[in-house]
């Protein structure tokens, strides 16, 4: 009997479970949804249907006044809606519908989380960027971790990533920059990512309830390029974290999985691989990494199939300031299969640097 399952679904089932579960999707949901699909075209609808179950439970809990439960259900709904659309770039109508639901669910949850959060608007040149700000309990003017998304991540995926920092007295600001989440429909990927990060730093200085003088930048996957790129040019950044980011994305582009390449083509504003490759060619730290003087923490995954571990090693070798290289020997991309090997370590490291 011939196996007719789309190889993209087979690849998703084989490689994505750690990321989904680590970032808030119940394991049974991952198994049920991916196990019931035969073709990639079914992906967004199936995940949106599963997300809607969690959203309905959130609505019911909210109606009953159980706001803590409602926030938990809505957060799960938001991350499921996010994963419905995250690489589904070939059907923009389905993508946008799932995206709007992800934003709506997470935004509804924010005020009722512990600690609570707020949706914020950040001026960026002639545009507006949107973020989710959360402040730790019991800290009057906390330091801030500015959380930079990757190619296929958005602020709605950051709940579990935020928690380790909040638990250590650090505020978190997860935001969607150019080519990401709420900005992907208007702004293409920006290789010079110091531009949006500088706008975020300007905005932080307007908030008397945050200590903008003690701010770090944290970036995941392609955000692991964006964060050090920003740190090379933005002197207000006091520390930088790069999670399995590319040192030279042009070198990594052609070896990336097909869905990843397609997402980069779409979000870079290019019309084909050649145009996207030209954008990728502008995304290298080779000529700027030596300008990074703040403390830098680099995470690599020795088994990373998306960004080879040599990229993390190259960044650690190139920066001018103090550096920690945490190479997770049995870690995949973002080491989502071994979150305990880097998440608490990164959070402790940042707390040591940022806490007065």
Exposure string over 311-323, b if 16+ CB within 10 A, otherwise e: bbebbbebbeeeb
Inter-residue contact 350 to 170 (CB < 8 Å): yes
Token code pair at residue 300: 């690599």
Angle between the 27-35 and 43-63 helix axes, to the nearest 10 degrees? Answer: 140
Q: Decide the pairing of beta strands 323-328 and 296-301.
A: parallel
The Cα–Cα gap between 225 and 252 comes to: 12
Phi, psi (deg, nearest 5) at residue 58 = -65, -40
The Cα–Cα gap between 51 and 83 comes to: 9
Q: Decide the pairing of beta strands 171-176 and 127-134.
A: antiparallel
Token code pair at residue 2: 């011939």
- Kindly list the catalytic residues: 221
């Amino acid at each position: 009997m011939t196996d007719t399952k789309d190889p993209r679904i087979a690849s998703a089932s084989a490689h994505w479970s750690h990321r989904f579960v680590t970032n808030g999707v119940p394991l049974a949901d991952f198994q049920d949804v991916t196990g019931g699909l035969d073709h990639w075209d079914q992906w967004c609808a199936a995940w949106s249907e599963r997300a809607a179950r969690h959203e309905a439970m959130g609505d019911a809990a909210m109606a009953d006044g159980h706001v803590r439960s409602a926030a938990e259900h809505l957060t799960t709904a938001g991350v499921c809606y996010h994963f419905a659309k995250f690489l589904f770039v070939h059907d923009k109508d389905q993508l946008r519908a799932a995206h709007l639901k992800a934003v709506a669910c997470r935004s509804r949850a924010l005020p009722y989380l512990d600690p609570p959060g707020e949706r914020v608007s950040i001026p960026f040149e002639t545009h507006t960027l949107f973020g989710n700000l959360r402040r730790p309990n019991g800290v009057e003017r906390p330091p801030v971790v500015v959380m930079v998304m990757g190619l296929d991540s958005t602020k709605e995926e950051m709940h579990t990533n935020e928690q380790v920092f909040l638990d250590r007295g650090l505020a978190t600001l997860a935001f969607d920059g150019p080519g990401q989440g709420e900005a992907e429909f208007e702004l293409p990927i920006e290789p010079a990512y110091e531009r949006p990060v500088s706008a975020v730093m300007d905005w932080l200085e307007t908030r008397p309830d945050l200590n903008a003088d003690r701010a770090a930048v944290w970036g995941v996957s392609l955000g692991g390029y964006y964060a050090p790129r920003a740190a090379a040019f933005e002197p207000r950044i006091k520390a930088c974290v790069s999670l399995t980011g590319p040192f030279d994305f042009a070198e990594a582009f052609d070896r990336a999985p097909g869905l990843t390449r397609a997402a980069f083509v779409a979000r870079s504003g290019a019309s084909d691989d050649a145009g996207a490759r030209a954008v990728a060619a502008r995304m290298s730290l080779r000529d700027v990494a030596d300008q990074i003087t703040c403390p830098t923490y680099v995470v690599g995954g020795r088994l990373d199939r998306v960004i080879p571990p040599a990229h993390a090693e190259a960044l650690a070798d190139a920066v001018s300031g103090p550096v920690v290289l945490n190479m997770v020997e049995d870690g995949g991309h973002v080491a989502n299969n071994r979150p305990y090997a880097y998440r608490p370590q990164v959070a402790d490291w940042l707390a040591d640097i940022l806490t007065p």
